[in-house]
Amino acid sequence: MELEVAGRSVRLSSPDKVFFPERGYTKLDLARYYAVVGPGILRALRNRPTTLERYPDGVGGEWFYQKRAPKSMPGWIPTARITFPSGRSADEMCPTEEAAVVWAAQYGTLTFHPWPVRAADLDHPDELRIDLDPQPGTDYDDAVRAASELRAVLDEFGGLRGWPKTSGGRGLHIFVPIEPRWTFTQVRRAAIAVGREMERRMPDRVTIKWWKEERGERIFLDYNQTARDRTIASAYSVRPHSHAPVSAPLRWEEVTVARPRDFDLATMPARFAERGDVHADMDDHAYSLDALLELARRDEHDHGLGDLPYPPEHPKMPGEPKRVQPSRARGEQAP
């Protein structure tokens, strides 16, 4: 069948194929969802290299991340050439139309993972993304408490404003639009500074310990989500869980009353029709990281707090500490 999406026709094969057996949602339901929230998700993806998280046979089947643009991709969807930490490069889809999202849904894409850069400048992020990830023994309410303090930290260091959204799981994401004049390394350094300040204010509730064995029952502020080639699910993305939740943009006043399960493939279209994209004004702002980078400098100079471990796929970075989990390091040092 053909779907008309913002003036462009998108072909949909096997529209009755079930993608979410528990709820009975089909590929057509998925495509129609993305057509309805098209203006919102395009705002989140526009001109950004985007990795596709694909489930061709639905949530119960095999899945994979597609970083390279498929050969079958139509010519009206542009690409951008991104460089991975390994030095390799790839051309990723770079949506500029709502129909591009529905086209990707035709191939089983549930979740869209945009880079924090635009096609015009692929080496300087224009978003500081903060992932508040509940660890075992914690839940969404714990993430909410951390988000409230995070809001205060952002305001204190540079008058920054964050735009919150549910992760689609148990956590929260806070996106801060920034001027695209810092490298990935510098933006990550700013994220580490935020994490350390959060640890000082909420030591029993927040951690930036990279190794799981050290985190305890605390919210993990994942500073490595700002490393090159690390991405976070976009606003409005459907997440691969049986009840078809979506990553829902929120206003700050909604954070304490919302629950992740409130937002799914069935409920988000009505919310979008009523309120529109509650993050529509994000692109009207671009903040400076100067205050956070000064905080990072003070942490390093006054307290000896240097770099932290990178993700395992990254090459060893200058100044990075030993990339070995503490229990193993202790075992290696034992007589």
User: What pLDDT was estimated at residue 46?
Assistant: 98
pLDDT band for 332, please (50, 70, 90 cuts). Answer: low
Q: How far out from the chain centre does Cα 121 lie? A: 19
The Cα 31–Cα 35 span in angstroms is 6
2 touches 11 (CB < 8 A): yes
Place of tokens 């994942």: 222
Helix (H) or strand (E) holding 129: strand 127-134
The Cα 21–Cα 8 span in angstroms is 30
Q: What's the average model confidence in pLDDT over 139-158?
A: 98
- pLDDT, one tens digit per residue, over 159-176 is 999 999 999 999 999 999
Residue 335 in this model has a pLDDT that exceeds 60: no
Q: What's the average model confidence in pLDDT over 41-70?
A: 96
What CATH topology corresponds to 127-227+285-303? DNA primase, PRIM domain (3.90.920)
Domain boundaries, the chain: 2-122+236-278, 127-227+285-303
Average pLDDT, the chain: 96
Whole-structure pTM value? 0.96
Amino acid present at 214: E
